[in-house]
Amino acid sequence: MTALPDNPADSMNAISRIQIDRVTAFMRLLKTFCIVTVLCLCLTACAGDDPSGWSVVDPSQALGRRHLFFLLGGLRITLMLSVASLLVGVVLGLILAILAANRRWFLRRLVRLYVEIVRAVPLFVLLLWVYYALPIMLRSLPPGPLTDWLIDLTDLSPFAAATLALSANAAAFLSEIFRAGIEAIPRGHVEAARSLGMSSAITFRRIVLPQASRRMLPPTVNQFIMTVKDSSLAAAIGLGELTRRATELQTQTYRPMELYTVLAAEYLVILVLLSYAARRIERWVTLE
């Protein structure tokens, strides 16, 4: 719960701001719902001579319910892919951020090279390279004790390849977020901890990371939103997430307008909720 100021007038102002923020957030969600509803109604009216095409996603009909359940089945894969990619990206990004602050210049150069390459290559191209080209490159390596463990990567599933590509991309952006958060900590806090006999690792874990995490949390949530949006690219390598399932149904029913409208509505609902959560987290961090 947010701590209120001691001054009663300031407390009332803080409570009023919180209530206004809640009403504003509710109105934004209501406006989004109304926009989606009006859009669906307009598309139904513009369906031409065959308005019954919406029966492919009509929950009142058995076929429509089956199609909707099939589409919503991709939601679990989309969220699993996004969460797994973000978790791996956070770990890798934190390692890169720590290496970027290292005193050894070649480690800083390696981190900078990785970040520049990954950010310069389009994510779709990176995804295709990981799924198709990476196994071929690994199979061409000479056998040996250092390369035998890489054999497992020559048979990547679509989910594993998508996770690897999305996490590599997210790590490049998250490393910059983490680096900025770590560098924002006053140098005096670190020096005070070292003067008390704390090692560098303990200082980072007990002093730097808890303070930096508050600054890093809002942009990390925003990166998760970007990862959810980017997960739709995994349809190109056959992963059965939301976009892939909508495309498979479209090739069977030849109803692209209805199915892709539902697909857009699914992403809209997911991203609006995540954006609302990101705003609440950012407001919480600011008030604290």
pTM above 0.85, yes or no: no
pLDDT digits (tens, 9 = 90+) for 30-64: 666 666 666 665 555 554 445 557 788 888 888 88
The pLDDT tens digits of the residues spanning 224-269 come to: 999 999 999 999 999 999 999 999 999 998 888 889 988 988 898 8
Q: Which residues contact 113 (CB under 8 A, 6 or more apart)?
A: none
In this prediction, residue 46 carries a pLDDT of 53
**Which residues 6+ apart lie within 8 Å of 78 measured at CB?**
228, 231, 232, 241, 242, 270
Angle at 235 between CA 230 and CA 239, to 5 degrees: 110
Query: What dihedral angle (degrees, nearest 10) is formed by the CA atoms of 42, 46, 47, 51?
Result: 70
Q: How much of the chain, in percent, has pLDDT values that exceed 70? A: 77
Per-residue pLDDT at 216: 83
Q: Tell me the domain boundaries of the chain.
A: 81-226
Burial (0-12, 13-18, 19+ Cβ within 10 Å), 275: middle
Rg for the chain, CA atoms, rounded: 24
Fold of 81-226: MetI-like fold (1.10.3720)
User: For residue 99, which amino acid is it?
Assistant: L
- Where the chain has pLDDT below 50, the residues are 1-16, 18-20, 47-49
* pLDDT score for 32: 66
- Sequence letter at residue 280: R
Side-chain-side CA neighbours of residue 107 (13 Å)? 10
d(CA 11, CA 63): 56
How does the average pLDDT of the chain come out, rounded? Answer: 80
Q: Read off the amino acid at residue 75.
A: L
- Please, which residues have CB within 8 angstroms of residue 159's CB and are 6 or more apart in sequence? 77, 80, 81, 234, 239
CA distance 87 to 268: 23
- Token digits for 213? 């995490």
